[in-house]
Amino acid sequence: MFKILLAVVLGVGGLPFAYGADLLSVYQQVLEADPRVRLAELNVQIGEAREQQVIADLLPQLNITSSISTIRQDLEGNNSLISGRGDRASFKGERYSAVLSQPLFDLPKYYNWQRQQEVTNQAEHDQLETQQQIMLDVVQYYFKVLLAQDNLSVAENETVVSKAILLQLQELYKRQLVKITNLMEAQARSDLANAELLAAQTALVMAKEQLTELTGHSVQQLTPLRDDLTFQPVEGGVETWLERLAANNATLLSKRDVIKADNSSVKQQRSGHLPVVDFQLSVQRTDLGFNSSSVGLTNITSASVNVNMPLFTSGKTTAFHAEAIHRLESSKLQYETEFRKLRRELITNLTEINASVEKIRATKVALASAKKNYQAMNKGFKYGVVDSSGVFEAQRILSQANRDLFEAKYQYIFSRTNLLHLGGTISTHEIELINQWLAPS
């Protein structure tokens, strides 16, 4: 019986899987189901449409108007005997006009165009951040499910072994071969294993729900990690990765776009004190004259250059300029705050990667020792030289070694993916690379 239990305990992590979806297929499902993909795309399209709106303010505008009127005139102060006219006259009139206008000097509109260009760039960088965040979420949630599954397998084996030892001790107690204290300890260990099993099951359900939130449907069996996978430290030191953070991180790029947009806004508001010059060409055809009087059909063509100079706005322009300056300062401080936060996260993840590599190596050694220890304790218990406490303790050490190894492996993947995300280098190619770390179907 204990040979069977020994095989169960030592086989944790090597149980056969009914392999299902791999990381790459889950990622494709998320791209099709996650609303963030379409939302980011719409924000870019909104930015492009607004950019076209402000560009139009700098380009020629042509307006055509037409009107057909019925006019009634009441004449006062006229002597009808002298003038020969009555006191009232009615007639119809027509007016057709076309006006072409072109801004010649309008700095507020020009800087508004520059500002909107940066706003569009910000939307594009936000879209890039969304795409990279989705990649990060897929990797994180996928391997959180695998971690929860591995922890559940450890808990299930602890439950099986604890219950088997308890049954064995109950039989020995009936024959008065063990003390009641040994039996009570085994009962407590079995109850604790059941509680840990329930916690592991709950953790798996929650992990699957996180992944379901991304894919939009229930998670089936996932493909696990390969057993022969080798974990290596990432290339590059802190300075190298900090350079990548500053140059490639989509969040920082977006915040730099905000700074550029706010800088253009400052120029836009400051130029509100300057004159605005535009050219206007109009063509008119009408049979109405001054005060809508009836005249012969007339064609009128005029060209003009208009200058509008603001002299007094009761401080409105100055207040707009001050607000723009404050917004620019605020956006710079927000950038600095975000950079410091991301810098700390980057160094933390880089440190955790190298620590995980060493921890994996050390835990593999500890796991091998724990297996030998369990074998020895199990053999001693079989011959009556070791009590159940020693077997339970050996089992606990072995289970903890398995958990530590699982945790170290997945922490390496989590930290590495976070580092690539912070450095702005995470991509579909990286998803494909990590997918090769999974067991073949």
Q: What is the CATH number of the domain that holds 277?
A: 1.20.1600.10
Q: What is the pLDDT of residue 334?
A: 97
Could you tell me where the DSSP H helices lie in 249-281?
250-270
Specify the number of domains making up the chain: 1
Does residue 207 lie in a domain region? yes
Does residue 82 lie in a domain region? no
Does residue 77 lie in a domain region? no
Q: How far apart are CA 178 and CA 54, in angstroms?
A: 88
Query: In this predicted model, what pLDDT tens digit does every residue of 121-147 receive, in sequence order?
Result: 999 999 999 999 999 999 999 999 999
Looking at residue 378, its amino acid is N
Does residue 290 lie in a domain region? yes
Does residue 84 lie in a domain region? no
Does residue 79 lie in a domain region? no
Q: How far apart are CA 379 and CA 398, in angstroms?
A: 15
Using CA atoms in the order 370, 375, 379, 385, what is the torsion angle rounded to 10 degrees?
-10
Which residues of the chain register pLDDT less than 70? 1-20, 74-89, 289-294, 441
Does residue 245 lie in a domain region? yes
Q: What is the pLDDT of residue 297?
A: 79
Does residue 78 lie in a domain region? no
Q: DSSP secondary structure string, 278-321?
A: EEEEEEEEEEE-GGG-EEEEEEEEEEEEEEE-----TTHHHHHH
Identify the residue whose tokens are 């303790």. 393
Range of the domain at 60: 2-72+89-435
What phi and psi, each to the nearest 5 degrees, are found at residue 222? Answer: -105, 155
Cα–Cα nearest to 264, from 129, 113, 128: 113
Please state at what angle helix 2-10 crosses helix 388-422, rounded to 10 degrees.
10
Q: What is the pLDDT of residue 178?
A: 78
What phi and psi, each to the nearest 5 degrees, are found at residue 281? Answer: -125, 125
Cα–Cα nearest to 170, from 156, 159, 186, 191: 186
| Token representation of residue 228 | 């022969």
Q: What is the pLDDT of residue 20?
A: 61
Q: DSSP secondary structure string, 310-343?
A: ----TTHHHHHHHHHHHHHHHHHHHHHHHHHHHH
Tell me the pTM: 0.84
On whether the CB atoms of residues 25 and 431 are closer than 8 A, the answer is no
Query: In this predicted model, what pLDDT tens digit does every residue of 336-363 receive, in sequence order?
Result: 999 999 999 999 999 999 999 999 999 9
Cα–Cα nearest to 222, from 236, 210, 240, 238: 210
| Token representation of residue 346 | 């980057």
Q: What is the pLDDT of residue 356?
A: 94
